[in-house]
C-alpha cells in the first residue's frame, strides 16, 4: 500500500461527471503480414499479461480512506481482469485518420470506473493498410507525461523483438478499515512534521519574487486574468479528438533558422492556429491567451507513476498578426514563464497540495465544474512531451505513430498535446462537444501556421511528407 501524493490526489479530486481526468496514449501499429496471423485482442491480452509484473501502475487499485480522513491509497498489487481492461473496438473498414480519431473521441467520453484499476486499453481494428491501433486510457492520478512515456517504453518490445516475460505476480490482500485509519493518522503526523519545511520553501520563493527586478512585470501579475474566449465555458461530457503529423526535422530546422527551441515553435504554431479560430468564432483576437505548459521537475528514466510537474503560465501571442512576431513573442513569453516559475519555486503547488482536505477539495471542484464561466487561471493547456527516439514494437508488430493528449480542465474546452516519436512531431487535440464540432479545424490550422512561419522565414512552404504516418 502507498498513499497518493497531494498532487496525485488533486488530479483525482478534480474529476467530475463532465471533467474526466484520464490521459490518452494512441499507438498505430503496422502488421507485418496483414493477411497472415491475426493480432487480435486475445494476443494483446497475452502481451499485457506477460508484462504486468513490470507495469506496476496497471496493478494499482484505488482505496478510499473511511470518512475521507486522508488522501486515498494505492493497493499496489491488485487482481487485474484483462477481459475487462483490454477491449476490442472496430471502425468501419477501411478506416483512415478521421475514423480513428472519431473512435478515440467516443472512447474518451466516458470516465474510468474507480472500482477497477484506473486504466483501459482498446485494440482498434478496421484501419486501412493492414494497420491496427492500441489506445491506452490512463487516469492522470497514476502518471504524468514523463511517467507515461517511461511506462509506454516498458510495454513495448526492443528492436529484436525479444523480451523477458512473466505470467504472474503476487497480489496484496485488501486492507482493513482499521489499518487504513491508523495509516492515515500516522501519515498526518508526518505531514505536520514536514510543514515547517514547506513554509520555508514558500518563504524562499516569496523572497526571490520580491528581490527580482521583474517582480511587477506582466508575467508575474498576469495569472488569474485570462481573457474570455470561445473555448472557455462549462465543459460537457462529450469528447472529440483530432490528430495531425508534422516532420520533426521540419520543425527543428525552422526553429534553428529562427534561433528558437522546439517548444517555442510549438507555442508559436499553437498561437497562430488559435488566432485563426478566435477570429472565426469570437470575431477578434485582441489579447494574448494564457496557456498552462506542464513542466516536470522529475525526469527519472525509471519513474513510471506519480505526478511531478507544475503548470508554467505562458502568454500566448494570438494578438500578433505577423508569424515571425508570434515566434519571437512565444520565445520571450516561454522564457519569462520559466523564470517566474523558478522564482516562486516549481514544487510550490505540489508541496501544498498534500494538505488539501479531500472532502472540501472534491466539493470545490464539483462546484467549479458546474459554474458556467471561464477558467480563472488559464485559457488552455499546451503540452510538448519528448517521446521515444527509436521505433518500437508491440507483440512483434511495428509501431508507426504515437499520439498523446491530456485531459480537459474545468472551464477550458480544449487541450493541445504534442508528442514526438522518432522523425515525427505528432499533434493531438481534445475538445468537448461545445467548443468545436470538428477539432480537425485546430489541427489543420496548426499545420497551416507552420507553413506561414516557414514562408515568412524564407523557407520552403512544402512540408516533408512523413511516409510512416496515416494520410491526413
Q: Which residues of 417-456 are buried (b: 16+ CB within 10 A; e: fewer)?
A: bbbbbbbbbbbbbbbbeebbeebbbbbbbbbebbbbbbee
Q: Are 112 and 137 in contact (CB under 8 A)?
A: yes
Q: Are 394 and 157 in contact (CB under 8 A)?
A: yes
Q: Which residues are marked as active site?
A: 140
Q: Are 317 and 347 in contact (CB under 8 A)?
A: no
* Distance from C-alpha of 125 to C-alpha of 98, rounded to nearest angstrom: 14
* Distance from C-alpha of 86 to C-alpha of 120, rounded to nearest angstrom: 6
- The backbone torsions φ and ψ at residue 360, rounded to the nearest 5 degrees and listed phi first, read -60, -35
Helix, strand or coil, per DSSP, at residue 381: strand
Q: Are 155 and 166 in contact (CB under 8 A)?
A: no
Strands (E), 221-369: 239-247, 289-296, 309-316
DSSP 8-class letter at 236: -
Which residues does 343 contact at the CB level (< 8 Å), separation at least 6?
A: 205, 208, 209, 212, 220
* Distance from C-alpha of 7 to C-alpha of 309, rounded to nearest angstrom: 9
Q: How many residues does the chain have?
A: 472
Name beta bridge partners: 384.
418
* Distance from C-alpha of 454 to C-alpha of 184, rounded to nearest angstrom: 56
Q: Are 73 and 4 in contact (CB under 8 A)?
A: yes
State the distance between the two ends of the chain, measured CA to CA, in whole angstroms: 46
Looking up cell 467548443, which residue turns up?
A: 435
* Distance from C-alpha of 248 to C-alpha of 251, rounded to nearest angstrom: 5
Name beta bridge partners: 242.
429
- The backbone torsions φ and ψ at residue 296, rounded to the nearest 5 degrees and listed phi first, read -80, 150
- The backbone torsions φ and ψ at residue 58, rounded to the nearest 5 degrees and listed phi first, read -65, -15
CA 22-274-339 angle, 5° bins: 75
Q: Are 28 and 123 in contact (CB under 8 A)?
A: no
Amino acid at each position: 500500500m502507498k498513499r497518493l501524493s497531494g498532487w496525485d490526489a488533486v488530479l483525482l479530486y478534480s474529476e467530475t461527471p463532465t471533467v474526466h481526468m484520464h490521459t490518452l496514449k494512441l499507438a498505430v501499429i503496422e502488421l507485418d503480414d496483414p493477411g497472415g496471423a491475426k493480432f487480435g485482442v486475445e494476443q494483446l491480452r497475452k502481451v499485457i499479461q506477460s508484462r504486468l509484473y513490470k507495469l506496476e501502475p496497471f496493478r494499482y487499485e484505488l482505496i478510499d480512506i473511511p470518512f475521507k480522513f486522508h488522501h486515498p491509497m494505492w493497493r499496489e498489487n491488485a487482481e487485474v481482469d484483462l477481459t475487462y481492461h483490454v477491449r476490442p473496438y472496430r471502425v468501419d473498414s477501411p478506416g483512415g485518420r478521421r475514423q480513428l480519431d472519431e473512435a478515440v473521441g467516443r472512447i474518451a467520453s466516458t470516465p474510468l470506473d474507480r472500482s477497477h484499476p484506473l486504466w483501459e486499453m482498446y485494440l482498434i481494428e478496421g484501419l486501412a493498410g493492414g494497420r491496427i491501433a492500441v489506445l491506452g486510457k490512463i487516469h492522470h492520478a497514476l502518471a504524468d507525461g514523463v511517467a507515461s512515456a517511461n511506462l509506454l517504453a516498458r510495454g513495448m518490445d526492443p528492436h529484436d523483438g525479444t523480451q523477458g516475460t512473466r505470467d504472474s505476480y503476487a497480489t496484496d490482500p485488501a486492507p482493513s478499515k482499521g489499518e487504513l485509519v491508523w495509516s492515515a493518522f500516522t501519515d498526518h503526523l508526518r505531514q505536520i512534521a514536514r510543514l515547517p519545511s514547506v513554509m520555508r520553501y514558500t518563504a524562499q520563493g516569496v523572497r526571490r519574487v520580491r528581490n527580482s527586478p521583474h517582480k511587477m512585470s506582466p508575467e508575474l501579475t498576469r495569472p488569474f486574468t485570462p481573457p474570455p474566449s470561445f473555448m472557455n465555458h462549462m465543459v460537457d461530457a462529450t469528447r472529440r479528438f483530432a490528430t495531425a503529423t508534422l516532420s520533426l526535422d521540419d520543425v527543428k530546422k525552422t526553429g534553428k533558422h529562427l534561433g528558437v527551441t522546439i517548444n517555442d515553435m510549438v507555442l508559436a504554431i499553437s498561437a497562430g492556429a488559435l488566432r485563426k479560430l478566435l477570429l472565426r468564432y469570437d470575431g477578434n483576437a485582441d489579447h494574448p491567451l494564457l496557456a498552462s505548459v506542464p513542466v516536470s521537475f522529475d525526469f527519472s528514466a525509471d519513474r513510471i507513476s506519480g505526478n511531478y510537474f507544475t503548470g508554467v503560465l505562458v502568454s500566448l501571442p494570438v494578438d500578433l498578426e505577423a508569424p515571425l512576431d508570434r515566434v519571437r513573442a512565444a520565445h520571450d513569453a516561454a522564457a519569462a514563464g520559466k523564470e517566474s516559475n523558478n522564482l516562486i519555486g516549481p514544487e510550490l503547488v505540489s508541496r501544498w497540495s498534500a494538505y488539501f482536505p479531500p472532502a472540501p477539495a472534491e466539493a470545490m471542484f464539483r462546484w467549479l465544474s458546474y459554474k458556467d464561466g471561464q477558467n480563472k487561471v488559464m485559457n488552455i493547456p499546451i503540452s510538448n512531451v519528448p517521446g521515444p527516439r527509436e521505433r518500437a514494437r508491440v507483440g512483434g508488430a511495428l509501431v508507426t505513430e504515437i499520439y498523446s493528449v491530456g485531459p480537459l480542465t474545468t472551464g477550458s474546452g480544449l487541450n493541445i498535446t504534442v508528442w514526438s516519436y522518432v522523425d515525427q512531431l505528432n499533434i493531438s487535440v481534445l475538445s468537448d462537444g461545445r467548443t468545436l464540432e470538428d477539432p480537425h479545424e485546430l489541427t489543420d490550422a496548426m499545420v497551416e501556421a507552420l507553413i506561414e512561419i516557414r514562408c515568412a522565414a524564407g523557407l520552403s512552404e512544402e512540408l516533408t511528407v512523413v511516409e510512416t504516418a496515416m494520410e491526413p
